[in-house]
């Protein structure tokens, strides 16, 4: 599918209250265009829950459910199983953030993947708890400032690395795991389309920059989404029925190209930048080794 083939209908309507330049809003809007009307959507507690709908108003035009924070995968599975039993032919998708996926939602996610529930799980990754005001999550990268990894006199930024959730999901041997970035529309659309048309558990992890939390000019959301892939901080791949494939080979440009645009990395020392660069290099070696193996 190409951009021009996308439906004109906005199932995630204008008038939502996301911050200007929100990467998560782009994910929701485009994903709904690909999935279409015949979809039930689940939302845990996250930014999208709040900016996508504050009672009695809502931006989504499809059946919509929120239960709690840490149970997106199992709630989506509950919907999907009930639809099946009631003979309603519809897809179920969960839109969770990185905190609700990598941290508090991990147990329910792993359980649903193990059972191969017939759902699409989208993690829109903005690398921190943005809804509650930019606290670090397991998905926050090394060095990044957040309100719980402040730049102090003794310690500055996050001291540990980003958790690699897509690889954890691959270890579940589910039909489809893919990573995407809003900066690569055709790649993103292909993966949404595959996820839509397959059966069983489908996991899509989408890099979704957040101007408010990352401290950059909102106009740069897509640009940052591209730079992250170019420098290797984020890698685009998919694993379809066990076949792993890198869908965009990174240029492996220096991470400084990527981090210099963002206030959250501004404080980093040369040593910290080297550590981050080392992590990227090592990660890429691991991933490219996987394609050979």
Partner 1 sequence: MYEVRFHGRGGQGARMAAEALADAAFLEGNYAMAFPFFGAERRGAPVVAFTRVDKQKIRIRTQIYEPDYVVVLDDKLVDLINITEGLKKGGMAIINSAKKPEDIDLGKKVSTATIDATGISLDVLGVPITNSAILGAFAKATGLLDIDSIKKGIVDMFSMRMDKKLAEKNARAAAIAYDKTIVGTCKAQRTFEKRKMWLPTYKEMPLGLATPPMKTEAGLVGPGSFIENKTGSWRTFKPILDHEKCIMCLFCWFYCPEGCIERVGNTTLKINYDYCKGCGICANECPKNAIEMVRE
Partner 2 sequence: MKRVITGNYAAAYGAYLTRVDFVAAYPITPQTLIVEHISEFVNDGLLDAEYMRVESEHSAMSACVAASATGARTYTATASQGLALMHEVLFIPPVLHLPIVMPVVNRTVAAPIGIWCEQNDTMPQRDTGWLQVYCEDNQEVVDMVIQSCMIGEHKKVLLPSMVMLDAFILSHTVEPVDFPEIEEVDKFLPKYKPEHAYLDPKRPMVLGSFTPPEYIQEARYQTEESMNNARKVITDVTKEFGKTFGRDYGGLIEKYRCEDAEVILITTGTVTSTARLVVDQYRDKGKKVGLIKLRFFRPFPLQEIKELGEQVEAVGVYDRSMSFGTAGPTYIETRYALYGYSIPILNFLAGLGGRDVTIKDISFMFDRLLEAKKGKIKNEIVWIGTRGVEP
Q: Which parts of this chain interact with partner 1 (CB under 8 A)?
A: 3-4, 6, 8, 10, 12-23, 25-26, 29-30, 47, 50-64, 131, 182, 185, 211-212, 217-223
87: phi then psi, degrees, rounded to nearest 5: 75, 25
Rounded least distance, CB 38 to partner 2, Å: 5
CB closer to partner 1 out of 48 and 109 = 48
CB closer to partner 2 out of 105 and 213 = 105
Q: Does residue 168 come out as left (phi exceeding 0), alpha (psi in the -120 to 50 range) or beta?
A: alpha
* Residue 38 is a binding residue for partner 2 (CB under 8 A): yes
112: phi then psi, degrees, rounded to nearest 5: -65, -35
CB distance 249 to 187 below 8 Å: no
Q: List the single partner that 90 binds among partner 2, partner 1, none, CB under 5 to 8 Å by kind.
A: partner 2
Residue ranges of the alpha helices (H) in 60-164? 72-85, 106-114
Question: Cα(270)–Cα(279) distance, rounded to whole angstroms?
Answer: 14
Which H/E stretch holds residue 225?
helix 221-231
* Residue 88 is a binding residue for partner 2 (CB under 8 A): yes
Q: List the single partner that 110 binds among partner 1, partner 2, none, CB under 5 to 8 Å by kind.
A: partner 2
Residues 153 to 212: which contact partner 2 by CB under 8 A? none
Question: Cα(64)–Cα(43) distance, rounded to whole angstroms?
Answer: 8
DSSP code for 192: H
* Residue 151 is a binding residue for partner 2 (CB under 8 A): no
Question: Cα(91)–Cα(197) distance, rounded to whole angstroms?
Answer: 10
Residues 102 to 131: which contact partner 2 by CB under 8 A? 107-108, 110-111, 114-115
CB closer to partner 1 out of 217 and 257 = 217
Binding site for partner 2 (CB under 8 A): 37-40, 42, 49-50, 53-56, 58, 60-68, 70-71, 74-79, 81-86, 88, 90, 107-108, 110-111, 114-115
């Amino acid at each position: 599918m190409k951009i021009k083939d996308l439906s004109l209908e906005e199932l995630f309507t204008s008038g939502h209250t996301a911050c200007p330049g929100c990467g998560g809003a782009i994910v929701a809007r485009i994903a709904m265009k690909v999935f279409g009307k015949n979809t039930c959507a689940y939302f845990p507690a996250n930014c999208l829950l709040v900016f996508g709908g504050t009672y009695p108003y809502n931006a989504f035009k499809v059946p919509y459910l929120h239960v709690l924070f840490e149970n997106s995968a199992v709630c989506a599975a509950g919907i999907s199983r009930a639809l099946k039993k009631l003979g309603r032919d519809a897809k179920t998708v969960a839109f969770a953030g990185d905190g609700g996926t990598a941290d508090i939602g991990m147990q329910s996610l792993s359980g649903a993947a193990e059972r191969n529930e017939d759902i699409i799980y989208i993690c829109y990754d903005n690398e921190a708890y943005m809804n509650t005001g930019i606290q670090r999550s397991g998905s926050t990268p090394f060095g990044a400032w957040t309100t719980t990894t402040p730049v102090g006199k003794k310690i500055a930024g996050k001291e540990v690395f980003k958790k690699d959730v897509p690889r954890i999901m691959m270890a579940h041997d589910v039909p489809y795991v893919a990573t995407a970035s809003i900066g690569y529309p055709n790649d993103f659309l292909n993966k949404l389309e595959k996820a839509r048309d397959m059966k069983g558990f489908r996991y899509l992890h989408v890099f979704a920059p957040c101007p408010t939390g990352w401290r950059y000019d909102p106009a740069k959301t897509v640009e940052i989404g591209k730079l992250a892939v170019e420098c290797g901080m984020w890698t685009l791949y998919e694993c379809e029925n066990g076949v792993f494939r890198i869908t965009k080979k990174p240029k492996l440009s220096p991470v400084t190209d990527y981090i210099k645009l963002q206030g959250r990395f501004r404080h980093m020392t040369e040593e910290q930048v080297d550590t981050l660069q080392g992590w990227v290099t090592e990660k890429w070696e691991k991933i490219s080794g996987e394609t050979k193996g």
